[in-house]
Copies of this chain bind each other. A is one copy, B any other.
Amino acid sequence: MLRREPLNPPKYVYPVDEWRMVEKQYYPRFQAQMETLFSIGNGYLGMRGVCEEVMPCSENGTFINGFYESWPIVYGERAFGFATTGQTIVNVTDSKIIKLYVDDEPFSLSTANLISFERVLDMKAGTLNREVVWETASGKQVSIKSRRLISLEHRHLAAIEYEVTVLNAKAPVVISSEMENHKHTASKDNDPRKATGLKDRVLNPQVNFCEDSRILLAYVTNKSKIGLACGVEHQIETQCSYSYKSECSEDGGKVVYFVDAQPDVPIKLIKYISYHSAPGVNSVKELCTRAQITLDRAENLGFEAILASQKQYMDDFWHRSDIKVYGNPYDSDVTRTLELQQAIRFNLFQILQASGRVEGTGVPAKGLSGQAYEGQYFWDTEIYLLPFLIYTAPRTARNLLKFRYKILDKARQRARELNQKGALFPWRTINGEEASAYYAAGTAQYHINADIVYAIKKYVEVTGDTDFLYNEGVEILVETARLWVDLGFFQDEKFHIHGVTGPDEYTAVVNNNTYTNLMARENLWYAVQTVQALQKEDSEKFAALLHKTDFSVSEIEEWQKAADTMYLPYDENKGIHPQDDSFLSKKVWDFENTPKNKYPLLLNFHPLVIYRHQVIKQADVVLAMHLLGNEFSEEQKKRNFDYYDPLTTGDSSLSVCIQSILAFQLGYSQKAVEYAYFAVLMDLADIAGNTKDGCHMASMGGSWMVMVYGFAGMRDYNGKLSFNPRLPKGTKRLHFPLTIRSQRLEVDIRQEEVTYLLREGTELTIEHQNEEVHLQVGIPVCIKQKVPDFV
């Protein structure tokens, strides 16, 4: 159940539109949420949807993925092995600032008399646009149009077109294009999910340079020693006469244009922005050079060309990823239909913005739309985002898995700190070191190891990329398998794993968490299978593996034995899988006497109180039933779901999508659709109440899963693809593409028939409702069959 009162989709996004998020009026009270929703980014660089004039603003933010400051984690009472290095994504120099003065009167949304206002996040164009007409105190009407983008094609480039026209008069117009460093202030908020904030100066100035209309600033972070260069360049196009001057200092710079505006003569300013970053204090000079090159190229290309390449990238993205949904779970009203369509696209668009140009890092929990969770990487990537990416953007998926390989050495070191062999991946990190300051809901989540391996397995199954598997993946498999075997122990001939925390963070440090044991077993089996295959298929790489991991073949037997005898808790009386050894012995949480405003519980009850009850933050056994559904019978699934669903608060945004998928499977149509709706609208309807802090990336990935694993009933255990589609009443049609081993499969579900078409590739075998379906490229297979009606 979802215990929190879900909000209705807010009225600030309207009219609904298939491809655009539209804001028709400036509402101060939705400002913070809109800054999140209108964030733009490309996976490397991100900017919150704050207006060019900066003020009014709730929380401005410009983020570079992986660009962090480190700080010593302080403990009131320290213990051995506690994580030592906190890491927080830095709110870097804000380069998008453009301030406007007409008759020396500043333009500001909060004070301006607005004749018209529209802001649009254009998901087809990949731009954030704004058009306003402002009437000054003296009655002059000024049209201000801006378009902003962060280029997906050019990783280090952003650009803004800012066009001002005084419609009905002459006026002196000043356009001041600025850069400014963020002032860090410590957070006063007690919400543990928000960033702790960096108090001291983070960016130590190295370079500030200004020539003509170009400004270049460069810094090195104070403790983490990462270099940053950011620069801006300008082009102005107008028939009016103008002059300009530029200046810069350690913490900013500006290029100011003084224009004698003539009635109805547009003044268009193009601003190119570039960010480059790299580790090391000596990187700065090189970074400056690179920023210069990017700005030079942008200037040569011009804004229109950059816009065109953005459109092309978006077209390709939607071709690979778009989910088309016709009709709506609740009714067939046109607006509601569009609303669902819009919401799904918005989720996929935000995933693109968080991951498109990720190279060498992970995806932060909030993407680049906010500083919450310190900009760190969690299991969210592997379990919630990678399914979508594997099936639509395998290269991005590969980049993300390669990041895990990159930090394998640190994971090895962390395992040593915990007295363990093998490798233990950090629960949360930017630089590869464990940054979790509360181990019970952090480091204790050993399942992160198995989650990563699960994603590797899925990636290899869907892409066939044995190159990655045999070069990098297998080393992760060996080290994670080693950890499991070393962590657990045999008792009564069964392999037990004690003292871990599963996905449900309302239950901590337990023995034999069902999810963990199942996932560890999968991890071990896959390690055995892969190492044996490698030994057979490629003796050279196998020899390299032996050398690199100091591996002995006898280890395989241990893994096999531990996996084969893995202990899985089972309660004969209830016929369910207990979440862990002691879960069922606890008292059930008193839901009846817990008012809605006491959720999420974590903000209102001491962990000790929560931990001693049967109460679940997020799907745990239920998640295992999704990821490893083939390990459960339908009967078991039903009993487990019936038991755990009422105990689940959904206090984590990672829950409803999974609950929806299981409800779909079990035919709980009302719940399935309700949960699906919550997942898809998590941010747009501010279901979790903290959209202002950034997008819930995992839930966005979960939205895709709800459509594909839920509605379309896809199963892909061990790489075998099958579908068992359902359409909620009122939904007329669902259409989506999947990329499988470089082939393009299109699934088209209608109320009376389902069509599978291998659009690109050669051939593919899938299953439809347990019947094999052989697909030849270009030949649609249409199965006439009434798709079960839901609700």
- Contacts from A to B (Cβ < 8 Å): 73-83, 86, 190, 192, 196, 417-420, 436-444, 489, 491, 496, 498-499, 508-509, 511, 581-582, 585-587, 602-609, 611-612
CA distance A83 to B76 in the complex (A): 10
A602 contacts B80, CB within 8 Å? yes
Given contacts A585-B496, A609-B418, contact A75 B437 (CB under 8 A): yes
CA distance A312 to B80 in the complex (A): 48
Q: Which of B420, B442, B491 contacts A77 (CB 8 A)?
A: B442
B611 contacts A499, CB within 8 Å? yes
A190 contacts B605, CB within 8 Å? no
Min C-beta distance of A416 to chain B, whole Å: 11
Q: Which of B437, B489, B609, B611 contacts A587 (CB 8 A)?
A: B489
CA distance A608 to B582 in the complex (A): 17
Min C-beta distance of A560 to chain B, whole Å: 21
Min C-beta distance of A595 to chain B, whole Å: 13
What 4 additional pairs, Cβ within 8 angstroms, besides A78-B192, A417-B606, A581-B582? A76-B83, A77-B436, A418-B606, A509-B509
Assembly of this chain: how many copies? 2
Min C-beta distance of A387 to chain B, whole Å: 28
Given contacts A76-B438, A440-B440, contact A81 B609 (CB under 8 A): yes
Residues of B within 8 Å of A498, CB to CB, are 585-587, 612
Residues of B within 8 Å of A81, CB to CB, are 605-609
CA distance A607 to B509 in the complex (A): 11
Q: Which of B80, B418, B438, B491 contacts A79 (CB 8 A)?
A: B438
B80 contacts A606, CB within 8 Å? yes
CA distance A612 to B440 in the complex (A): 13
8 pairs of A and B residues whose beta carbons are closest in the complex: A76-B437, A499-B612, A81-B606, A77-B438, A73-B76, A498-B612, A77-B437, A489-B587
B443 contacts A80, CB within 8 Å? no
Given contacts A418-B606, A582-B511, A611-B509, contact A76 B86 (CB under 8 A): yes
Residues of B within 8 Å of A75, CB to CB, are 74-76, 437-438
- Return the chain B residue nearest A77 by Cβ: B438
Q: Which of B440, B496, B609 contacts A419 (CB 8 A)?
A: B609
CA distance A418 to B489 in the complex (A): 35
- Return the chain B residue nearest A417 by Cβ: B606
Q: Which of B192, B437, B511 contacts A586 (CB 8 A)?
A: B511
CA distance A269 to B454 in the complex (A): 80
Min C-beta distance of A71 to chain B, whole Å: 9
CA distance A196 to B419 in the complex (A): 26
Min C-beta distance of A758 to chain B, whole Å: 48
A606 contacts B192, CB within 8 Å? no
- Return the chain B residue nearest A488 by Cβ: B587
Min C-beta distance of A84 to chain B, whole Å: 10
With most chain B CB atoms within 10 A of its CB, the pick from A442, A603, A607 is: A607
Residues of B within 8 Å of A441, CB to CB, are 77
CA distance A136 to B336 in the complex (A): 99
13 residue pairs of the A-B complex, CB under 8 angstroms, read A76-B437, A77-B441, A80-B602, A80-B603, A80-B604, A81-B607, A439-B608, A443-B608, A489-B587, A496-B585, A498-B585, A498-B587, A581-B582
Min C-beta distance of A520 to chain B, whole Å: 14
